[in-house]
Structure 1
Amino acid sequence: MKIRRFFGKDMREALSLVKAELGSDAVIMSNRKVADGIELVAAYDKEPEAKLSMKSAGAATPAPKAAKPVPSLSEIIGDDGPDSLMALLEKQSEAASRVNEPSASTSIHPQAQSQAPQPAAGYAAAQNHQSDSLFNFEDSAEPSFAQPAPAVNQAPQTDLSAIQAELASLRSVLQHQVADLMEAKHQRQKPMHRYLTTCLTDMGISGKLAEQLVSYTPVDSNEREAWVYLLNLLANRVNVTGNDILTQSGVVALVGPTGTGKTTTVAKLAARYAQKYGAEQVAMITIDTYRIAAFEQLATYGKIIGCTVRKAQSSEELAEQLFQLRHKRLILIDTAGFSQRDSRLIQQLAQFNNGQMQPVKRYLVMQSNTQYPAMQRIIEAYQSVKLEGCIFTKLDECYSLGEVLSAAIEYQLPVSYVTDGQKVPEDIKVAEAKSLVSAAARLYKKYGLTHTSGNQVVNAARAV
């Protein structure tokens, strides 16, 4: 079997040349696009009849044969080349990926040698489908392009990334196993400490604070004595300010996220202050211009209490209202509730930095049933301003108070008041450390223990 190459401007012209030169018994081996058109590689077993007839006719009546013009350099690199640089790079990448594959132009499959060629199948395949080109850089007369470096180095980079990811996964597994071994060793050496740490964490105390408290536990104490000692130590760590708002005068602003009960807390404090010093000695101002009927709600409380209620929409208006109400003994400011991730929170806090107004004491209002990570983010968001203390609301909705105590202790935030209902002014109390710790212990005993948690057993197979 012999192999020949044919060139044409398009597939139709190349097929015509193959048929004219080799006849209908030729088999198309491959095709590809070259600089000046299409290249076809055809194979044949015997000398084509068309060529023999042309030789015999030429011996009788010799006629000059038109030679194929040699393509010029402008024709090779002209408009018949690749459409774009991207197409050229794609051809280079394809060539790089097929360097190690056997070329059809230099080696023929044994099955193709044993079977007789099918002319109809060869032409149908050439006309209806252009197969992937098989390149032979040794026999090709066309200029070859250098292989791009990114295509060659892509596989090693991918392997390196996979190795790095595998190493990171193994490191995480090893760290977890070592931590388990250290924890098991510590549990064997000090089982009482481990038990007390678990009790504190189940009560809602953060792990870091629980380990600190347990480290001070006397060694010779039993379980009951150690637990009472821990509760007393926890109470000593809680900082309370006492009844500071209702015993002092000035301007107090309650800040905090949305839905924490700031407006109701302002009304409770105003009612308590009016009972002690008179309604004419207290006033309320709201700067909440985002919530619907925020001023109307505070005005309703003010009408019941009998005190003055104003509203301000900017720092200038707030400074003007504070100047007009300077004869009041206590002025309570109700702020708008924003998320700790809301940029408007910074703008609201900047309203209190106006040098024309009198100093404002800020108290952070947070829900007691908030998750501990959320409490951390809230306190960090308000650390840009000086906080005089905090007020924890909705204690009646809590199932655990350890998160509140952990946040107050770890961030050294004084606790001023706690609220446990919607009644004005009954449901507000001065914060006491021992009362908070006792309440936390009662909630843990009622809801946190294994036999009182009330958790339903879930069938794992059904869940999957």
Structure 2
Amino acid sequence: MKIRRFFGKDMREALSQVKAELGSEAVIMSNRKVADGIELVAAYDKEPEGQFAVKKPVQQAAAKPAQQKTTPSLSEIIGDDGPDSLKALLEKQHGGNKPQAKGYEDAPRPVGGNPQHANDIASHLDFSDAFIDDVEEQQTANEFPAHQAAGIEDVPQVPSAELSQIKEELASLRNVLQHQVADLMEAKQRRQQPVHHYLIQRLTDMGLSPALASQLISYTPSHYNERDAWVYLLNLLANRINTTGNDILSEQGAVALVGPTGTGKTTTVAKLAARYAQKYGADSVAMITIDTYRIAAFEQLATYGKIIGCTVRKAQSSEELADLLFQLRHKRLVLIDTAGFSQRDSRLIKQIQQFDNGQMQSVKKYLVAQANTQYPALQRIIEAYDGIELSGCIFTKLDECYSLGEVLSAAVEYQLPVSYVTDGQKVPEDIKVAEAKSLVSAAAKLYKKYGLNHTSTNNVIRTARAV
């Protein structure tokens, strides 16, 4: 007996190969599922008829006695004479015992190479079309859960550190792609509207935020040349800035100046008090400090009070502040100097809450910020005072600035009115009422003086020293 192996993508193809190569007298020894399909092991006692021998006449095949066929031929196997289902076939093989059918891999196989046993097995196998379909469906249904469970068990669990690293790499790739897409869009806009791109670059160099610069450019007529468009943008920016005028010095009530450390709140309070005393008299104005953290804060304000000739008081709690405001209710203007805290300091919130405890008269709050502050810092400062109602802002230290676009962007984007600007330490000379056109003109002059390429100082750095 000779044994050969055949491979096919399914059972029909494998059986067709057996029949074509070995003929109808071949015996199927075993079958199993492999990676590429089905593997059949077939045996034959003589040379195959399908490819190597001449077919016998039909008369000789018909003349053979039927009783001599102990092993069914492949034609009978493929025919419709066998059992109609796998269950009936296996019951016939094991004498009615119900087996566990699990597909081709669990089918009976020859043991010890006994040909007679293989012939007995082959005699009970029915490879008709219905049988092949039943076996394939049952094998798929039985093997899929096992495959799925094996897949779940075999997949290694990725550590959380590696997952975090993968997430970081994906985020980095996303940022790179977004940057590249933004560059492509910018290059496209630069080709289509070169004047607008040039003006956006000038506005951002002047200190304006990219969002505000793009917004202003969108309103610029496309037929303007570079000079006319630049003048148009400056006028448009001036129209966007809201100012309050000389409201503090022309009205009555209580005004508190709030802001972070080092912005010049105490000096600004003294300047406003001196201006008010010049207009209405020293008896019409008073100053109160609640800055109990800075050394000699009260003494500094008291010195200004002696020079101006106005009343100066100190409050260490909200109750004392309410009492002092009641005592000084006959004054036309009461200026309150607050302690300076970082926008990240929790004491800032406690100090702000003193003005809204319901025990005192209404107090207007004005934010004091340095004009040379970075734009992100200005954003955080304004957001820190988001819980209170700000009547306006005062920009200080304009004489120390190299750019004014940052404070103008913050005032426009947060819709914060600008009341006053200061540009020196002199009391009361170095304080002015804010005007939108004057601020924009000053910003343009600073950009022309320090921001342009031909006016900025470019220091040559040696490569070796830089390394």
Q: Same fold (TM over 0.5)?
A: yes
2:330 equivalent among 320, 327, 330: 327
For 1:349 and 1:271, the matched residues in 2 are separated by: 26
Which one of the candidate residues 301, 305, 314 is aligned to 1:298?
301
2:356 corresponds in structure 1 to 353
What letter corresponds to residue 231 of structure 2 in structure 1? Answer: V
Paired position in structure 1 for 2:215 = 212
Is 1:365 the counterpart of 2:368? The answer is yes
* Residues 186 and 152 of structure 1: CA distance in aligned 2, closer, same or farther (over 3 Å): closer
Structure-2 residue corresponding to 1:238:
241
Please state whether the residue corresponding to 1:365 is helix, strand or coil: strand
Selected match of 1:344 from 340, 344, 347? 347
Q: Secondary structure at the match of 2:412?
A: helix
Give the AA of the match of 1:257. P
Of stretches 156-165 and 311-320 in structure 1, the one that deviates more from structure 2 is 156-165
* Equivalent position SS for 2:255: strand
CA change 1:250–1:164 in 2 (3 A) is closer
Cα distance in 2 for partners of 1:266, 1:259 equals 14
Aligned length: 316
Mapped pair 1:429 → 2:429:
no
Partner of residue 455, structure 1? 458
Query: Matched residues in 2 for 1:379 and 1:317: separation?
Result: 28
User: Is residue 225 of structure 1 aligned with residue 221 of structure 2?
Assistant: no
One-letter code of the match for 2:427?
V
Change (3 A) 1:157 1:423: closer
Q: Distance in 1 between matches of 2:165 and 2:394?
A: 51
Q: Secondary structure at the match of 1:388?
A: strand
For residues 360 and 159 of structure 1, the distance between their equivalents in structure 2, rounded to whole angstroms, comes to 56
Partner of 1:315: 318
1:415 counterpart (409, 415, 418)? 418
**Corresponding residue SS for 2:376:** helix
- Greater Cα offset, 452-461 or 300-309: 452-461
Larger Rg computed on CA atoms: 2
1:416 partner amino acid: S
- CA distance, structure 2, for counterparts of residue 245 and residue 207 of structure 1: 33
CA change 1:362–1:159 in 2 (3 A) is closer
Deviation at 1:455, TM superposition (A): 2.9
Alignment of 1:91-170 (within 5 A): 153=156, 162-170=165-173
Aligned-partner SS, 1:451: coil
Rate the CA distance shift 1:276–1:155 in 2: closer, same or farther, 3 A. Answer: closer
Cα distance in 2 for residues equivalent to 1:436 and 1:175: 36
CA distance in 2, matches of 1:157, 1:311: 57
In structure 1, C-alpha distance between the alignment counterparts of 2:416 and 2:431, rounded to whole Å: 19
- Of 263, 266, 277, 2:266 maps to 263
- Aligned counterpart, 1:99: none
Letter of the 2:364 partner, please give it: K
Which of 201, 218, 221 does residue 198 from structure 1 map onto?
201
| TM-score normalised according to structure 1 size | 0.66
Match of 2:4 in 1: none
Residue 375 of structure 1 pairs with residue 378 of structure 2: yes
Tell me, which stretches of 5 or more residues in structure 1 are unaligned?
Answer: 1-148
- Cα distance change on mapping 1:177 and 1:308 into 2, 3 Å: same
- How far has the Cα of 1:353 moved from its partner? 1.1
- d(CA) in 1 for partners of 2:337, 2:253: 15
| Structure 2 counterpart of 1:186 | 189
Distance apart, 1:165 and its partner CA: 3.9
Q: Kindly state the Cα deviation for residue 164 of structure 1 after the two structures are TM-superposed.
A: 4.0
Could you tell me how far apart the structure 2 residues matched to 1:418 and 1:160 are?
53
Structure 1 residues 156 and 364, CA gap change in structure 2 (3 angstroms): closer
Q: List per-residue Cα deviations over 1:358-393 (Å, max 9, x = no partner).
A: 100000000000000000000000110000000000
Match of 1:442 among 441, 445, 464: 445
Letter in structure 1 aligned against 2:375: Y
SS of equivalent to 1:254: strand
Shift of 1:460: 4.4
- Unaligned runs of at least 5 residues, structure 2: 1-151
Aligned-partner SS, 1:403:
helix
Q: 1:161 to 1:370 in 2, by over 3 A?
A: closer
Distance 2:166 2:343 in 1: 40
Task: Report what 2:39 is aligned to.
Answer: none
1:84 matched residue in structure 2: none
Determine the structure 2 residue equivalent to 1:250: 253
Matched, 1:396 2:399: yes
Structure 2 distance, partners of 1:330, 1:372, is 33
| 1:282-320 deviation line (CA, Å, top 9, x unaligned) | 000000000000000000000000000000000000000
Q: Distance in 2 between matches of 1:365 and 1:384?
A: 16
Calculate percent identity across the aligned residue pairs: 80
- Inter-partner Cα distance in structure 1 for 2:200 and 2:269: 38
**The residue matched to 2:358 in structure 1 has which SS?**
coil
Deviation readout 1:169-201 (Å, 9 max, x if unpaired)? 332222221111111011000101100000000
1:273 aligns with 2:276: yes
**How far off its partner does 1:453 sit?**
1.3
- Please tell me the residue identity of whatever aligns with 1:423: K
Q: Which residue of 1 aligns with 2:14?
A: none
